[in-house]
Structure 1
Amino acid sequence: MPKTLPPEIIRTIVLYLKNDKKSLYSCLLVSRDWCRGMVDLLWRQPFHLLYTCNKINSSTCKCSEKKRRSQAANLLTTYYSIKYNDELVKEGIVKTKGGNVINVMFNYLEFLSILDLRDLYFAIQDWTQWNKTRRSPLLKFLNRKFTSLTFNCNMFKYFFINSPKLKLLSFDTEFTLHQINNNNHCSYLIEENSENNNWEYYNILNDLLSIINESETKQFFANLTELVFTAEERKTKILSSLSRVCHNIQKLIIKVKFTVFIDNYGTALVRETNNTLEEAKQLVSLIRSQHNLVYFELFDTHEEGTSEILKSLKETQQNSLKTLILNNLFISDNNTILFHLKSLQNLQELGFNKFIYQQKGKLVHCWEDLWLPNLRYLELDHIDEHKEYSEELSSILRECSPLLNKVKN
């Protein structure tokens, strides 16, 4: 009888392949030991895998619509069978084999730890389209079972309430998590979003807002440790609600979008500036309500909003914050950034990417007493026309960081 690999070796191999969907599914077929060793990894973020492609060129996605919809249907049906299997069998929605009820092998909801609302939203759309062609009674069953105003809201609630290990919630329209994991998103998400994304994203945020304030979901939000919100849509009300129920977030990646159009001036510019600032202030409330924020990344806001956010970080998270990454900010010069860095002496990683310098003011000596004794990694990426300001920032940070051992330009 052939010897099997030790569980720890199987686990190492599976972890190496964690972003390779095709190889992971092949591993399932090797043996029961392999299946047992990887089931939690496959089911920790299955919707992410559903919309991840094994492709090198992101513009040549060849995913089959029929196959994708079938997989979404099977995935969601499996999840709902965990809670409602007996009722589904009784109503003839789930088939039996030889008169015996076929139960799911695991409670897969217990493995779910990462959930992206856009991935889940499009899985629901694929699933409903698949079942429409078959006039599925399962949709009717779930509509009777749930009580919220919208079907998507009911679906979101189901996962929030029944997934005890869910720690990371995202609405990641920038595919930040795909980039971090070094894999490619299915181009279907881009194609599908091109025409109706604003309306769809508004619906997702509106459903989320109604769920946050329900007593059934409070424990879920209390347990969250990571939050990724890169959608451009205004999240002012959601951030306000989250600040009252989320207090254990350690990693926060967020966009507070400041949009500048060619003809965006006068009243329109004032309105956009004020709306961005109000959203930034609600983000400040969320930051201040956290006990131990370790990682913070910000996208696309203006200088006044950035200043408010950095102020909240230095006043409430200076002891815990280890990583600070700022992307695509509209600022006058480097003074605002340097001024607030003085109090963040526990930082180990800094990233400043593609700042847009508007007034290009002369640098004042607000950085003379800047000292970052724990900084080890610095990343700076600049827009060509602002290269000298990025180099200025780099030079200052190198001088005040004795342990800095890696700089990426």
Structure 2
Amino acid sequence: MTLPYLTDDCIYYILQYLQNDHSTLFKCLLVNRFWCKSTIPLLYANPFASTTEKNYLITSTLILCFNKAEILQLKNQLGLSQINNINFDNFDKEHKPLFEYPKYLKYLKNYDIFIINFVISKWFAKYIPNLPIFQIFCVDNIFPIFLQSILRQSRNIEQLDISLNLFYEESFKNFNFQNFTSNLTKLNSLSLNFHSSGTDHTVNKEIEQEFLRNIANFCTNASKLIIELPKIRRPLYQHDTSDGLIITTTTLEKLCTIIQVQNKLKMFKIWDCHSLLNDILLSLEFQKHSLVYVEFTACDFSNVSLKRFNYLYNLEYLKFEYCKGILLNQCESLNFSSFKLKELSFKRNYWNVDVTSLMIKYLGASLQRLLVETPTKSLIENISMYCPNLIFLKIRICLRVDLSVIQSFKNLRTRILSITTLYDTDKFFINLANNISINIGKIFFFSYSRNSSKFLKFKEFLENCHNRFEMISLNYIIELEFLKIVLNYIERSNNSLKVLGMMRLGKELNDEELKLLNLIKAKGVEIVRYNTIYHDLCKFAF
């Protein structure tokens, strides 16, 4: 009988399906030459994601892919650390690499660099069993050699997250940045981290700017760009806007050029931007036809014209976290915005709450998702009045809220409400229940309370709220009294409830708890893990 034959395309799709299952992919290598050749690019697209016990063996593979100059550098550095018992000449002769493994790398993130260093240290500890522990820590000068080799050979990098402090290493002094950046034409996600340092790196600024210049010349197809400028201090910098002293004028020009030359930039994030923000916003205007998502974290909008936002015609997602500096009179220009936001998010910003309220007034007409904090009466009223298309509203209550504010909740037009609170008093839940809008069919509660009887607060809510909820999700562990409360609500609500989200569904239940849980399920209610359902509803489009 003829054995069934799989076409090359079928094999390729099978392997694609297994691309995150490294242990299975390693077995696929042994089937035949074609399977091996097709599997290697998948295994080495993100080789440092593997957390297997023997992941340190990749170090041998990386060394085999060194060129002569890199082998010489490695020998010299090990010699300086008095590690002379590895014969790399024999090592190279006995083991010839079958593939140019680093060229398949697609994802290189800043976090991966720490993993690479850990894996290398682990390899030395295994390869030289008697190597004193202090000498392992002395080999840190060899880490940049490995990274240089990886960067030199990479041809298919799609996501690059890199700290520019890396170029302050002496070993990068003669690194050919042009050859490296010319390999980044497939890059679609770029993250540049300008972490501050106490050391004067004036000389290395030239290397840093050479890198940025080459990025601007060769990397023009990024759809996602993240810039993290040096942190000045925490908490939020107060009167210090000295980022211009840390980021030179030349570096700023390079950053602005990188923003401007991207062909179809969709997502932009920036961290810790202060006096440079006007220049950055001006550069974003070059991406007005493609830019969809903009996020600001720890940025200072003092003396910044918000008119710049009006030119971003296709903006749909806008997020502010830990920002400061926006005044009421700055918001007026947003009344003339041409874009139609789908999502707007405010988290721990240092400005008057009326600023948030006014921005919602001008940008709320098209909003489908909104995140706000510490609600006031005017804020809730503006959400009710100016957000007619709202689907998902998340409210974080970090401070004690005036209970009279809760009365405004009855006018909310959102279909899904998520409330995160530190102060979940009985009065809060009773007021919320009595004023919850009948438009809200799905509700999420996340309480930080460690009170063992906090289910009583949910009892107050469920006994006093309307009976039209289709979904209720709580960060609460299954317990007998709570299950009774839920069952009573289901029976009162004429079985409108379809989904119940809870924590620790794997908990072992006693007979009475199991009986109640089965009764709830018999009513047609699906029990879902809280984290799973919350993540599905709260995740951004990107």
Q: Return the TM-score normalized by structure 2.
A: 0.50
- Determine the C-alpha separation between the residues in 2 that align with 1:23 and 1:391: 53
Does the 8 Å contact 2:296/2:319 carry over to 1? yes
Summarize the Cα distance change of 1:24–1:254 in structure 2 as closer, same or farther, 3 Å threshold: farther
**Offset at 1:371?**
0.8
Any stretches of 5+ residues in structure 2 without a counterpart? 72-85, 130-140, 198-203, 369-388, 395-542
**Offset at 1:369?**
2.3
* Residue in structure 1 matched with residue 313 of structure 2 by the alignment: 345
Matched-pair identity in %: 16
* Residue in structure 2 matched with residue 127 of structure 1 by the alignment: 120
**Offset at 1:253?**
1.6
* Residue in structure 1 matched with residue 149 of structure 2 by the alignment: 158
* Correspondence 1:74 to 2:60: yes
Of 271, 278, 284, which aligns to 1:313? 284
- Determine the C-alpha separation between the residues in 1 that align with 2:237 and 2:155: 46
In the TM superposition, 1:204-215 aligns within 5 A as 205-206=168-169, 210=173
- Determine the C-alpha separation between the residues in 2 that align with 1:35 and 1:328: 44
Of 275, 286, 309, which aligns to 2:246? 275
Any stretches of 5+ residues in structure 1 without a counterpart? 54-62, 97-101, 137-149, 173-200
SS of the residue aligned with 2:4? coil
Summarize the Cα distance change of 1:205–1:223 in structure 2 as closer, same or farther, 3 Å threshold: farther
In the TM superposition, 1:129-278 aligns within 5 A as 130-131=123-124, 134=127, 151-171=142-162, 202-203=165-166, 205-206=168-169, 210=173, 216-217=179-180, 219-220=182-183, 224-230=187-193, 232-233=195-196, 240-246=209-215, 247=217, 248-249=219-220, 250=222, 251-261=224-234, 269=240, 271=242, 274-275=245-246
Of 344, 347, 372, which aligns to 1:382? 347
* Residue in structure 1 matched with residue 363 of structure 2 by the alignment: 397
SS of the residue aligned with 2:99? coil
1:156-209: CA deviations, max 9, x gaps?
33333333333443227xxxxxxxxxxxxxxxxxxxxxxxxxxxx845554696
- Determine the C-alpha separation between the residues in 2 that align with 1:207 and 1:224: 27
For 2:309, the aligned partner's letter is L
Does the 8 Å contact 2:162/2:192 carry over to 1? yes
1:277-309: CA deviations, max 9, x gaps?
866555224324x25251343232244322221
SS of the residue aligned with 1:297? strand
Q: Return the TM-score normalized by structure 1.
A: 0.63
* Residue in structure 1 matched with residue 507 of structure 2 by the alignment: none
Of 338, 355, 360, which aligns to 1:371? 338
- Determine the C-alpha separation between the residues in 1 that align with 2:238 and 2:344: 33
Does the 8 Å contact 1:371/1:401 carry over to 2? no
- Determine the C-alpha separation between the residues in 1 that align with 2:122 and 2:187: 31
For 1:79, the aligned partner's letter is C
**Offset at 1:407?**
6.7
Summarize the Cα distance change of 1:239–1:361 in structure 2 as closer, same or farther, 3 Å threshold: farther
SS of the residue aligned with 2:66? helix
Q: What's the C-alpha RMSD, in Å, of the aligned pairs?
A: 4.6
**Offset at 1:114?**
3.0
For 1:309, the aligned partner's letter is I
- Determine the C-alpha separation between the residues in 1 that align with 2:25 and 2:393: 33
SS of the residue aligned with 1:366? helix
SS of the residue aligned with 1:399? coil
1:77-127: CA deviations, max 9, x gaps?
353399999xx999321465xxxxx64333324422333355246425532
For 2:359, the aligned partner's letter is L
SS of the residue aligned with 1:160? helix
Summarize the Cα distance change of 1:287–1:43 in structure 2 as closer, same or farther, 3 Å threshold: same
Summarize the Cα distance change of 1:330–1:160 in structure 2 as closer, same or farther, 3 Å threshold: closer
Instruction: Indicate the structure (1 or 2) with the bigger Cα radius of gyration.
Output: 2
- Determine the C-alpha separation between the residues in 2 that align with 1:23 and 1:381: 43
1:252-272: CA deviations, max 9, x gaps?
222124433369677xx3545
* Residue in structure 2 matched with residue 297 of structure 1 by the alignment: 268
- Determine the C-alpha separation between the residues in 2 that align with 1:128 and 1:365: 56
For 2:58, the aligned partner's letter is A
In the TM superposition, 1:347-362 aligns within 5 A as 347=315, 349-358=316-325, 360-362=327-329
SS of the residue aligned with 2:98? coil
For 1:361, the aligned partner's letter is L
Summarize the Cα distance change of 1:17–1:222 in structure 2 as closer, same or farther, 3 Å threshold: closer
* Residue in structure 2 matched with residue 179 of structure 1 by the alignment: none
Aligned residues: 336
Does the 8 Å contact 1:110/1:163 carry over to 2? yes
Summarize the Cα distance change of 1:74–1:340 in structure 2 as closer, same or farther, 3 Å threshold: same
SS of the residue aligned with 1:356? coil
Of 84, 89, 92, which aligns to 1:91? 89
SS of the residue aligned with 1:3? coil
For 2:211, the aligned partner's letter is L
* Residue in structure 1 matched with residue 97 of structure 2 by the alignment: 104
SS of the residue aligned with 2:311? coil
- Determine the C-alpha separation between the residues in 1 that align with 2:263 and 2:176: 23
